[in-house]
Each structure stands twice: as C-alpha cells, then as structure tokens.
Amino acid sequence: MRKYIINSIFMLSIMAVIFSCQNQETVDLQNYMSNGKDIYKSRCQNCHGENGEGLGELAPPLTDSVFLKTNKSRLACIIKNGINEPLIVHGKEYKEKMPAFPELADIDVAQVMVYITNSFGNNQGFVPYKQVSTQLQNCK
Amino acid sequence: MNKIISLIAICLLFVTILSSCQQEKKLPFYGERHTETIKDSSGADKIDTVYQTIPNWSFLNQDSVVTTNRATDGKVYIADFFFTSCTTICPTMHRNLMTVYNQFKTNPDVMFVSHTIDFKYDRPYVLKKYAQKLGVDGAKWQFLYGSKDSVYTLAEKNYLVAVGEDSTAKDGYIHQGYLVLIDKDRRIRGAYDGTKKDQVEQLKKDIPVLLAEYKK
C-alpha cells in the first residue's frame, strides 16, 4: 500500500513538472503577445495598419503566412534594421524602403516578432528571446 | 375627460416647442474675423462678419502641371500637410483620409489637397509615385509641391497647421496631422486630427452638413 502511494505521488510530481513547463511557455507567449502589441501599436501600426492590412503599395500587409514562414530567420533583422529591397508579399511586389528601428532592444524585437507571427491570421508559435538575439547578431 | 384633453394639449405644446427649437446644424468658422459695414439691397448700412479665407495659391501637382486655387474654387475641400518619406503620422493620416476619399469619390463638389512639406525630396514625380501606391488616381486628390516659403506660410498663416524642419525628428520634419475642411468660399470650417479614427468619422459626417449649406 505504501509503495503504491509513493509511486503515485512520484508520478503526479513528474506530471506536475511537465505541465508547469508547458505553462511557462504559454505564460511567456502571453507576455510577449501583450508587450509585442504595445510595440506594434507605437512603431508598426502607422504603416502596416491595425490589422496588419498594409497600406496600398506603400507598405505590405503582414498577413502572408507563407512569406513570414520562409523568411522566419530574417524577420528579426528586418524589424530592427529596416529593409531596402523589393519584397514579394501575397504575389505583389513592394519596393518602398522600410525604416530601421535601432532604438528597439533585442527583447522588444522578439516580442513584436512573436506578436506579428501570431496575429492577423498567422499562427507560428513562440520564439524565445535568446534565439532572436542570435539572429540579430548575424544580420547581414 | 377634461384631464385627457389637457394632457393632449400639453403634449402638443411640447411638440411644437421642440420642433420650433430645432435649428439646422451649421459648422463653425475658424480663424480670425472682423466686421465690415456694408450696404444691403435697400441701401441701409448693415454690419457683416468677414472670416479668414485661404488666399490664391499656385503649385505644381503630381503630374507636374501648374495647379492654382482655381482647381478648388467653388468646391468644398480637405487640405493636409505631409511628406512621402514620413514614417510617423502621415501613413495613418492618409490611410484614414483614403476612407473619406472613397466615400466622396463620386461627389463633384468635394476635393482633396495634400501639400508636401519636404521641398527637397518630394518632387512631383515622387508625389505621383506615392499617389499611385496609395491607390489614388485622377485630379480629385491633388498632391502639391511648392517652395518651402510658400508652403510653410500657407500652412501656418492660412490653414493654421504647424509645420517645420527639425533635424532632431526621426524623418527630418515635424507637422500636425490636421485635415482642414474648407468651404466653397475658402473659409476654414473644420480641423480634424487625421490620426484619430473618431475625428475622421466626424469629418465624414460634417462634409454633407457643409454641402447642405449651399443647397438653399
């Protein structure tokens, strides 16, 4: 009987550890999403719109999940350093220059990137700050 | 019985009072004003209020054509000040103004005039490209280029919108995001913050009110 109880407590604690791990990521995601939204509002929304719809041919929409996925490793660099090359989004070419945001810290870039890639119909999950930081060090 | 009759009478009285109180909505006048004594048709002296008006102007538009106030004379128009490389308030302003433009696109009595304050870079061909990319085509929305002096004076003295060069600003210029509503007699009848959705909605409601003033 005692063995049985000890075993079940052991199993329960392992399960609790697993669950709390998952929760930590969910908590992080929620955290990034809410901070990312604030950053998006103040830096990105002007051009890309409240719902990521873009602005004419001046600013591309942020709703092209395929584009976001294929350029996943570049997104952080684009957010921080801007971009001055034509991009094909939703099959349309966008040639306007995007300004740089050098004032954004790595964590800000990570949060706003997670927000964009998990809003406007995108659902690409969580990217931790450390990974974004490495990407930013290797910007071309 | 008497009670009912008096009740009905009171109700009727209220209705008449309320309906007689109802005044037609009129937009305010902005800017400086002064009074002038004029003679009315019977020859008697009458005091009239004279409001600030937009003076004559002449600029190059997005097609590099000299455009003057004659383009907007006799029309209600919305003026604003922006520049194409602006990354702060201009995109929002023009995103919102686009919705107004789309609503009044087919109304021949309404026009749109955007002045660039970037006299160095925003040449007419730059404005043309910008207009096309924004999704504007045709003469209903004019994008105007002029010398710093002429545009800045017009903005601050006549449209009452603050503009300026500022090397500390992110894009090199600062300006207010007002959409200024001008009536057919060149008077300022409204100023709406183009970055705020509710104010732009108000503008959409006020344009028909202003147009109605001229229908009588």
Domain ranges, residue B199: 55-213
Identify residues of B whose CB sits under 8 angstroms from chain A CBs. Answer: 87-92, 94-95, 98, 130, 132-135, 170
CB B203 within 8 A of CB B97: no
Question: Which residue in A has a C-alpha nearest to residue B90's C-alpha?
Answer: A46
Domain with residue B191: its CATH number is 3.40.30.10
0.85 surpassed by complex ipTM: no
When CB atoms are compared, the residue of B87, B132, B134 closest to A46 is B87
**Domain assignment of residue B1, yes or no:** no
When CB atoms are compared, the residue of B89, B98, B134 closest to A46 is B89
Distance CA B97, CA B163 (A): 19
pLDDT in tens, chain B (216 residues): 677 777 777 767 776 666 655 556 789 999 888 888 888 778 788 888 889 999 999 999 999 999 999 999 999 999 999 999 888 888 999 999 999 999 999 999 999 999 999 999 999 999 999 999 999 988 999 999 999 999 999 999 999 999 888 888 878 888 899 999 999 999 999 999 999 999 999 999 999 999 999 887
Distance CA B108, CA B124 (A): 24
**Domain assignment of residue B17, yes or no:** no
**Runs of H (alpha helix) within A40-102:** 45-48, 65-70, 75-81
**Domain assignment of residue B142, yes or no:** yes
Domain A23-137 CATH (choose: 3.40.50.1950, 1.10.760.10, 1.10.1040.10, 3.90.1150.10)? 1.10.760.10
Number of domains present in the structure of chain B: 1
Distance from CA of B96 to the nearest CA of A (A): 10
Exposure string for B187-198, b = 16+ CB within 10 A, e = fewer: bbbbbbbbbeee
**Domain assignment of residue B41, yes or no:** no
